[in-house]
């Protein structure tokens, strides 16, 4: 089984993500973030890894469920990188997210799927976060 390399550079339809206070708090609770900077509810800032809620869960689901990709279940999330913009992500913001397959390649006997997601603030069009995920398909590289 191997991934369809014709999909390299494929772009997916943009999607929107609304940052909501309850979701950020739920995320902070889940990761045990009880640092003093999050005590004041009126001053809540999403942690950098909150981006996984949209740049990973939402975007990767769209790519992996692409019927043309040839994804299969014998896979692990190999690497994850974030580059953050200058402006903090806060409740009330809406982000526009653009998803693209940046590469598919084989190394040893594994295949690697690399997906870039660029998320922009809709009000200012500034970059909120750039995410790169690499999924490793075990043993599918022939």
Q: How far is the CB of 94 from other proteins (least distance, A)?
A: 18
**Among 3-11, 46-54, 96-104, 106-114, which window interacts with other proteins (CB under 8 A)?**
46-54
DSSP character for 87?
A: S
- Collapsing DSSP to helix, strand or coil, 56 comes out as helix
Is residue 23 within the footprint of other proteins (CB under 8 A)? yes
Which one of 3, 17, 52, 59 is in contact with other proteins (CB under 8 A)?
52
Is residue 45 within the footprint of other proteins (CB under 8 A)? yes
- C-alpha 87/C-alpha 109 separation (Å) is 41
Is residue 139 within the footprint of other proteins (CB under 8 A)? no
Q: Which is nearer to other proteins, 5 or 109 (CB)?
A: 109
Instruction: Identify the burial level of 26 via C-beta atoms within 10 angstroms of its C-beta, where 0-12 means exposed, 13-18 middle and 19 or more buried.
Output: exposed
Distance of CA 110 to the CA centre of its chain: 22
Is residue 48 within the footprint of other proteins (CB under 8 A)? yes
What are the structure tokens assigned to 129, written together?
Answer: 């976060």
Which one of 17, 19, 82, 117 is in contact with other proteins (CB under 8 A)?
82
- C-alpha 75/C-alpha 59 separation (Å) is 16
Q: How far is the CB of 73 from other proteins (least distance, A)?
A: 8
Residue bearing tokens 């004041």: 40
């Amino acid at each position: 089984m191997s991934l369809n390399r014709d999909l390299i550079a494929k772009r997916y339809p943009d999607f929107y993500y609304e940052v909501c206070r309850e979701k950020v708090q739920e995320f902070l609770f889940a990761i045990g973030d009880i640092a003093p900077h999050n005590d004041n509810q009126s001053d809540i800032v999403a942690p950098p890894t909150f981006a996984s809620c949209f740049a990973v869960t939402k975007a990767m689901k769209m790519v992996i469920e692409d019927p043309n990709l040839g994804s299969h279940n014998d896979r692990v999330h190999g690497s994850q990188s974030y580059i953050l913009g200058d402006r903090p992500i806060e409740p009330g913001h809406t982000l526009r997210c653009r998803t693209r397959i940046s590469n598919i390649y084989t190394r040893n006997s594994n295949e690697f799927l690399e997906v870039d997601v660029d998320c922009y603030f809709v009000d200012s069009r500034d970059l909120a976060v750039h995410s790169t995920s690499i999924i490793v398909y075990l043993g599918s590289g022939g």
